[in-house]
Structures are given as C-alpha cells and as structure tokens.
Amino acid sequence: LHRVENAACSVYLLRRDYLSEGASEILDRGAHGKAGKGGKKKATPEKVDKDANKGNPVAIAFEETETLLLGIQDRHSISHGAQLAIPKLTLFYHPSVFVKANLYDPHVYLFKLSALKILEDPKLRNTLTSIRFDLVPYMSLMQMTPQASLWSSSRLDCDVFDELLDSFDEPHKKREDKEQDRSREQGYTLANRPEQPRKGNKVVFALHPDCAGICCRVNNIHDYYEMNMKFCSNRMDELRGIMPEWMLPAQPAKKSPTMRDSTVAEGCTFAESAVIKRSIFGAEVSVGSKARVTASVLLEGGKIEEEATIQRCIVGRRATVGKGCKVRERRLQPARRMYSSKLDLGW
C-alpha cells in the first residue's frame, strides 16, 4: 500500500473486536444489576475503552476509497475536549468524508525518508514531540497544503531535480511564483481552486483484514514478506505493475487439456480442463473449459462451450453446443446451436 500510493506515511490500524468486548460488558451489567437490588441505586461507573492493550483507541477521517487518511485523533484527547480536525482545503479534493471511531492504533508506522526533513525545521522539531500524538496527526492535516512540500520531495523524485535546474536558470521567476502562491492561499473558492498536491505527500492507512485467524509473528525477512503479502492481497493487480515477479505469490499452473487418440486439424483451440478422447476435429474448432468430447466428429468451425458433454456425435460446420449441454448419439446440423440436451435434432 505504501509503495502503490507513493505515500509519505502509512498507518496500520486494528478494528475493534466487539465479540470479545460484548462478553465482558454483559458480565459487568449482570454484576451491577445484582448489586442494585434492595438498596440504593449505585452510580454507573464511567465507561472505559476495552482492549487497550491492542493500541491507542482513535477516531479517523478518510475519503471514499478508504485509503487516504484525512485526519486522526486519539479518543482520550477527544474525551478531554480535543476535536477531529479536517482542514477546509481538504474538502476541495474530497467533498465526501467518512469517520470511523471503532479503531485502534497499535503504533505501527512506515515513513518515507524525506519525512525526516520535518525534524530539520526548528519550529516543528520543538513542537512535534510524539509520533503518535503529534507527528502523524500533523502530517495528515497538512498533506493537502503547500506546507507538505517540506516532506513530499525525496532523492527518487525526478521532478525535484527539474525544479532545481529551473531555479538556477530563472531565479526571479521562482520568486514570483512563490509570491503568487501566497496570494492565492489567502482565499480559495470553487472558481479559484488550489493546485493539486504533489506526489509523495500522502498519509494512508491500512486496516487489519476482517477474516479471523490471521496471526503473524515476524522473526525474519521471509515472515515479513509473507505477512505483507497477506495484507496486500486485495490490491495484487496494482502491485503487479510496480513489483518484480519474484516478489509476487506464485500462481497455480493452469491445467492443460487432456487429449487421447484424437486427430486435430489446424487452428483448433482447447481451453484448460477440457477432455478429448477418440475424436476428429476439423479446422478452427474450439472446445471450452471443462468440456468433454468422446468418440465424436466436429467439422470446420464447430464450437463446444464450457462444461458441455458430447458422446458419439457429429457436429456440423459452424454448429455450436451450448454451455452445460449433454448430447449423446446425435447429429447437429450445420450453423445450428443446441441450447438444451433435450432438443431433438435427429439424424
């Protein structure tokens, strides 16, 4: 995910386990109910967050793709008056914002190397004292603003070198552009939209999969690779475009068609799992997957679709046996199509 999105920071989050929490809450309610009989009504104890050992309870804001983290705030700070803030500038790019408050932050982050430039700024270095409570919320809030250029560029971004060359050639133009940017920042409207943010400044998040039973213990590079592949399985198509083949999970080999004692003319195609026995095929005949052809003759252009079964039949030129049909001892006229095995075409 971090590499696909070209993110500056990736946050790993856990979902709240309501099944394990529900049992303890039922026991607590039962205990309070028994204690309240025959006496004064006791004050209900303050509700606390369960499973705090999983991490810090947090509330997050994200966009419709459930990838980009637009804001994050721990629930302890929210209970003491803090707010889950989302800059207005973010709404220019993402008018639809969603909020989840049932997540845990286990303190697992992945940063781009250029994120260290934040610590080079003395103003930020003295105020951002915690990765969990200060740095990650700050990057999520500022990722859409011009301030994100501080950490969006790195040695691997070629456009950074292009900008440096341009600044050397035309230094006065660079200064004018900065002045125009400051004037435009003062009031963005629908007619005066902000420029698209640069690549490499995103803050993204990944949720632990819903499927039960996933437990990863990482002791070596191979375990780390296996764990990463489990969490990236739903984005494998995107990963194939940027990762080498040896890093991707091996694909099961396709089952080749089975053929025995048959004669095949030029241009015939047979799908995987097809079974051919004691048959003769004319030119340009095609047989679909999981189809079975036994002791039959198929003339030029004949077609047997998926999961069809024919036995001791003659299929005329450009005739078709439909999907799932089971035909025995029949002759199919040229350019005809059999939709059902009950169709009586006769000899």
CATH code of domain 258-338: 2.160.10.10
Q: Where are the domains of the chain?
A: 7-31+51-185, 209-247, 258-338
Distance between CA atoms of 110 and 58, rounded to whole angstroms? Answer: 18
CA atoms within 13 A on the CB side of 191: 0
- Per-residue pLDDT of the chain in tens (347 residues, 90 and over written 9): 787 787 889 998 888 765 555 545 555 555 555 545 455 544 444 444 455 556 788 999 998 888 889 999 888 888 888 888 888 878 888 888 899 888 888 888 888 888 888 888 888 877 888 888 888 998 888 888 777 877 776 554 444 455 555 555 555 555 555 555 554 455 666 677 666 666 778 899 988 766 544 556 667 777 777 766 665 655 666 666 656 676 666 666 656 678 888 999 888 999 888 999 999 999 999 999 889 999 999 999 999 999 899 999 999 999 999 888 888 888 888 888 876 544 444 43
Q: Record the pTM.
A: 0.48
> Quick one: three-class SS letters along the chain?
CCCCCCEEEEEEEEECCHHHHHHHHHHHHHHHHHHCCCCCCCCCCCCCCCCHHHCEEEEEEECCCCCEEEEEEEHHHHHCCCCCCCCHHHHHHCCCCEEEEEEEECCCEEECHHHHHHHHCHHHHCCCCCHHHHHHHHHHHHCCCHHHHHHHCCCCCHHHHHHHHHHHHCHHHHHHHHHHHHHHHCCCCCCCCCCCCCCCCEEEEEECCCCCCCCCCCCCHHHHHHHHHHHCHHHHHHHHCCCCHHHCCCCCCCCCCEEECCEECCCCEECCCCEEECCEECCCCEECCCCEEECCEECCCCEECCCCEEECCEECCCCEECCCCEEECCEECCCCEECCCCCCCCC
Q: What b-and-e string marks burial along 291-324, b requiring 16 or more CB atoms within 10 Å of the CB?
A: bbbbebbbbebbbbbebbbbbebbbbeebbbbee
Task: List C-alpha distances in Å: 86 to 14, 70, 140.
Answer: 22, 7, 9
